[in-house]
Structure 1
Amino acid sequence: MSTSILAIVGDYYHPKEAILQSLEQVLSAHEKIELEIGNPHHLLEKLAEKPDVVILFSENRVNPTDDNVHTWMTEEIADAIIQFVESGGGWLAWRSGLASYEIDSNYAKMLRGYFKYHPNQHQIVHYSNTTDNDILSSGVSFDLLDEHYFVHCDTDQTTVFLQATSVNGQSIAGWYHTYGNGKVCCLTPTHNKEGLLDPAFIEVLEKCVMWTSS
């Protein structure tokens, strides 16, 4: 039986091409996974088709550099996402899938975390796993030239599996939990093509996708 994955990827600051290359590398070793690419404006109708997993790498702002900024996630869409996960779906909020969503929204509450800020300059960010988690059972340690994401994470209500350290400090870079009958995984790396295609990161992303879809 195949697993269906809907990927909502790409936004103003993150072109979808490199993100898709990263995902395609992850899924190339898995024959029984069907990948569909979508965009936020069609998310409601795609959720109604009941994919097994949704991967969101797209921020809430549609036009972040304009004076009048529009967002795409309505209360109706947020409620549909929550119902999808509660009913047994998997949700992977990747990078900007954590960004610019209302921090008191039901969506952010489901994620149990959200993006706060990143320093303007790219820095070498060191990523490493935590102990006692179900996603990264073996040691993980790699460096990426990245925008170091700093997040809020409700650590009492989730399990942290990845952490990030740079000259700017330390932050949580990945966490996961069950939600109703479904699963939620949040992952913050990475920003540029080199990081997205880094073999060590590809391995982490693969394990996140596999956990969320299992």
Structure 2
Amino acid sequence: MDMTGLVSGAGGFIASAFVVAGYTMRTMIPLRIFGILTNVVFIAFSIAHHHYPVMVLHMILLPLNIYRLREMLLLVREVKRSVSSDLSMAWLKPFMTERKCATGEVLFYKHEQAEEMYYIVSGRYRLVESGIELPVGAIVGELGMLSPSNKRTQTLECLEGGLVLSVTYSKVQELYVQNPEFGFYFLRLVSARLFQNVGKLEAQLAQSSAQASS
């Protein structure tokens, strides 16, 4: 075998090894990074050996892998920022779908099976049992994902027509599995929001008790 054939065979073996190694990746960020390296190797190999269909394929896949890697890195960064600042879950917006709500509409009932959470964009909404009105920008329903029974603990009613964004628990779980770092910070964020909600409820109860005794 001449040197050209030897180099060609070695290049093909290396490119194939990158593909096999990519299938061993369990989480999304390492998978995307390795996918980018694989695309670069295949593009270089294809140019050197005039395999233009393969070159075109990987030139298409390369920007897609870069875009998805950037998307996941930005998501993790936004979750970290939320944990250390205002506990906002606005970073979930790109993964949510719009839902228009009419006045008097009930988004979910107490004891109903919980399958998604909501981000309030506009309108007025109230948790019926506690009487708490939720402001624009609030997230509601996220704790149902962590509940053992996945049941709603309150009823959510629309008092004034508006818009909400919804994301299914399965989508959040998908993001969790794809990137354990996202999952870690998401759990911290939900826990912090739970303690924040408990604190607000205690303050409201204390205020109600003070008003009743005065």
Task: Flag whether TM exceeds 0.5 (same fold).
Answer: no
Between Structure 1 and Structure 2, the one with more helix by share is 2
TM range (shorter): under 0.3
Task: Kindly name which structure, 1 or 2, has the bigger radius of gyration based on alpha carbons.
Answer: 2
TM-score calculated relative to the size of structure 2: 0.21
